[in-house]
Amino acid sequence: MAKIIAIANQKGGVGKTTTAINLCAALGETQRRVLLIDLDPQGNATTGAGVDKNSHELTTCDVLLNACQTKEAIVSPEHVKFDVMPSNADLTAAEVQLMSIDGRERCLAEALSQVEANYDYIYIDCPPALNVLTLNAFVAANGVLIPMQCEYYALEGLSSLLQTIKQVQGSVNPRLAIEGILRTMFDGRNKLGHEVSNQLIEHFESRVYRTIIPRNVRLAEAPSFGQPIVYYDKSSRGSIAYLALAGEIIRREMASESARNAARSQTNSAGSASAARTSMDPSTVAQATTIQAQPNIASKANGEASHTDSAEREDKPAESSATQEAPPVS
Ligand SMILES: Nc1ncnc2c1ncn2[C@@H]1O[C@H](COP(=O)(O)OP(=O)(O)O)[C@@H](O)[C@H]1O
Ligand SMILES: [Mg+2]
């Protein structure tokens, strides 16, 4: 099943769309099956991925209003290695129509259940508002990736975003987690940038991605060519940073997967041990006793996922040269 991530921050211009396009492209380069859903009526993720937002009859709008099968609104552009569900200004109309639908917040979740199995990752580029569209993304997602620009007003509005996530967790979608905080458009020469970055780490700890996206003019240019940065200028700092982010996400995923497997195999051994005990084989009874004498193995293994992240943060240098050094404005 796909991991579904909403890329959200109700502030505009923080790098949501840039992250959506370039992270999908970077993950696509690693042979992951990726879908980018444009959930913003501006359709910037659509055009930035090289898809003409007005040439497709079926878009996210039709999917939300259940006017088509989900797969009918998905396109596979030839020049990139991910699929796109395009959007355009019609989505504004959908937003209004959704208001009169019962269960309006579940429309996207229900639609995605038709295609979830076809992907490893589904990223949703949210609009710059905590509206019914963003709510649909939060109900459909497993996690929220929050891009943050490390500047003076960055933290403003963060509490209402976190509050909304908490409300969704407490009601319609208990599995929703903060997947990660991503520092974007980072200018290492700016002292304030470092201060805000430190505050984020203090507050969110290992949930802040180690990868930092530097301010890089190539990232700003790429959308006008309809190309993700990995194709527009693969060796640029922006490209290296998004490839590093994809690598970090995959490693995190593998770490939590192996922690889950460890927990599962401990549970299984404990299960087979108790089954063996009923057959009264003395050696297995002894083994079972040993396993039972190690309490909380499963919960310890579960805890290792977050551990790995924080250990990684301290032990290893930056994900790439684009990340931890003070990146100059290019
Ligand atoms: N790392 C970056 N370096 C330089 N420009 C960037 C970077 N990230 C985004 N931009 C530019 O900043 C503007 C806002 O980014 P965008 O991704 O559209 O933000 P949002 O989707 O949050 O509104 C766009 O013009 C984009 O090209
Ligand atoms: Mg955007």
pLDDT value at residue 299: 31
Q: How far is the CA of 170 from the centre of ligand 2 (A)?
A: 27
pLDDT value at residue 266: 83
Q: How many domains does the chain have?
A: 2
Confidence of residue 152 (pLDDT cuts 50, 70, 90): confident
128 lines ligand 1 (CB under 6 A): yes
Residues 301, 173 share a domain: no
Ligand number with the minimum distance to the CA of 145: 1
CATH number at residue 188: 3.40.50.300
Residues 119, 35 share a domain: yes
Residue 228 lies in a domain: yes
Whether residue 188 is predicted with pLDDT greater than 80 in this model: the reply is yes
Ligand number with the minimum distance to the CA of 150: 1
Confidence of residue 315 (pLDDT cuts 50, 70, 90): very low
Cα–Cα distance between 49 and 238 in angstroms, integer? 16
Residues 286, 221 share a domain: no
Closest C-alpha residue for ligand 1 atom 17: 15
Q: How far is the CA of 278 from the centre of ligand 1 (A)?
A: 63
Asked if 45 and 21 touch (Cβ cutoff 8 Å), the reply is yes
Residue 198 lies in a domain: yes
Confidence of residue 166 (pLDDT cuts 50, 70, 90): very high
184 lines ligand 1 (CB under 6 A): yes
Q: What is the pLDDT of residues 232-250, one digit of tens each?
A: 999 999 999 999 999 999 9
Whether residue 155 is predicted with pLDDT greater than 80 in this model: the reply is yes
pLDDT value at residue 34: 98
Confidence of residue 280 (pLDDT cuts 50, 70, 90): very low
Residue 320 lies in a domain: no
Residues 267, 245 share a domain: no
Whether residue 308 is predicted with pLDDT greater than 50 in this model: the reply is no
Domain range for 37 is 3-254
Q: Which residue would you say has higher pLDDT here, 204 or 306?
A: 204
Confidence of residue 274 (pLDDT cuts 50, 70, 90): low
Closest C-alpha residue for ligand 1 atom 12: 13
Residues 89, 175 share a domain: yes
Confidence of residue 157 (pLDDT cuts 50, 70, 90): confident
Relative to the CA of 12, which ligand 1 atom is closest?
A: 23
Residues 112, 151 share a domain: yes
Whether residue 147 is predicted with pLDDT greater than 90 in this model: the reply is yes
Closest C-alpha residue for ligand 1 atom 25: 220
Tell whether pTM > 0.85: no
Among 254, 282, 303, residue at a domain's last position:
254
Cα–Cα distance between 55 and 53 in angstroms, integer? 6
Closest C-alpha residue for ligand 1 atom 10: 220
Q: What is the pLDDT of residues 8-39, one digit of tens each?
A: 999 999 999 999 999 999 999 999 999 999 99
pLDDT value at residue 136: 97
Closest CA to 172 of 105, 115, 108, 97: 105
Residue 48 lies in a domain: yes
12 lines ligand 1 (CB under 6 A): yes
Residue 321 lies in a domain: no
- Is 129 buried (19+), middle (13-18) or exposed (0-12) by CB count in 10 A? middle
pLDDT value at residue 29: 96
Residue 188 lies in a domain: yes
Task: Tell me the DSSP string of 175-233.
Answer: T-EEEEEEEEEE-TT-HHHHHHHHHHHHHHGGGEEEEEEEP-HHHHHGGGGT--HHHH-
- Tell me how far the alpha carbon of residue 305 is from its chain's centroid: 17
Residue 20 lies in a domain: yes
Cα–Cα distance between 202 and 305 in angstroms, integer? 19
252 lines ligand 1 (CB under 6 A): no
Q: How far is the CA of 37 from the centre of ligand 2 (A)?
A: 12
Among 254, 287, 304, residue at a domain's last position:
254
Residues 238, 304 share a domain: no
pLDDT value at residue 40: 98
3-state secondary structure at position 155: coil
Relative to the CA of 217, which ligand 1 atom is closest?
A: 4
Residues 264, 243 share a domain: no
Closest C-alpha residue for ligand 1 atom 7: 185
Residues 144, 240 share a domain: yes
Residue 322 lies in a domain: no
**Which range, of 148-162, 202-216, 295-309, averages the lowest pLDDT?**
295-309
pLDDT value at residue 265: 84
18 lines ligand 1 (CB under 6 A): yes
Mean pLDDT score of the chain, rounded to an integer?
Answer: 84
Q: Which of 7, 10, 18, 237 to mutate to test the pocket of ligand 1 (most atoms within 8 A of CB)?
A: 18
pLDDT value at residue 271: 64
Residues 26, 150 share a domain: yes
Among 254, 277, 299, residue at a domain's last position:
254
Residues 125, 38 share a domain: yes
DSSP classification of residue 152? T
Whether residue 6 is predicted with pLDDT greater than 60 in this model: the reply is yes
Residues 267, 244 share a domain: no
Closest C-alpha residue for ligand 1 atom 26: 220
13 lines ligand 1 (CB under 6 A): yes
Asked if 90 and 61 touch (Cβ cutoff 8 Å), the reply is yes
Whether residue 319 is predicted with pLDDT greater than 80 in this model: the reply is no
